[in-house]
Amino acid sequence: MADKLKERPVVICTEFRGVFFGYCIDTDADPLELKRARLCVSWSSNVQGFMGLGATGPTKSCKIGPRADITLKKITAVLECSPEAVKAWEDARWNG
């Protein structure tokens, strides 16, 4: 039960084509609460698709929005984030 109460860094995809990074306690919830979430507005080909956002995180050529706590509905995918990806997400700046 203790593991269920720990925030996990995840990338969440929605039916509405949203791709978000953030911290979640219960990834099975509907709706899903995501803390300190960041929206990936666009990613470059060097990320190697949306699954690369969970594996290695965004690159400098991606457009990553600011943090906010949000509630998400219509979840289509939950990706665990590697430590490398978490660092990239936390360090990401808007490139526009």
Look up residue 39 and give its two tokens.
Answer: 């929206």
Q: Of 95, 93, 61, 87, nearest to 9 (Cα)?
A: 87
Say how far apart CA 47 and CA 6 lie, in whole Å: 28
Q: ∠48-17-24 over CA atoms, to 5°? A: 85
The whole-number pLDDT of residue 5 equals 75
The topology (CATH level 3) of 8-91 is: SH3 type barrels. (2.30.30)
Q: Of 64, 72, 71, nearest to 91 (Cα)?
A: 64
Q: How confident is the model at residue 95 (pLDDT cuts 50, 70, 90)?
A: confident
Q: Domain residue spans in the chain?
A: 8-91
Amino acid in position 74: K
pLDDT tens string 82-94: 999 999 999 998 8
Q: What is the pTM of this model?
A: 0.91
Look up residue 50 and give its two tokens.
Answer: 């949306």
Place of tokens 């457009």: 63
pLDDT tens string 9-35: 999 999 999 999 999 999 999 999 999
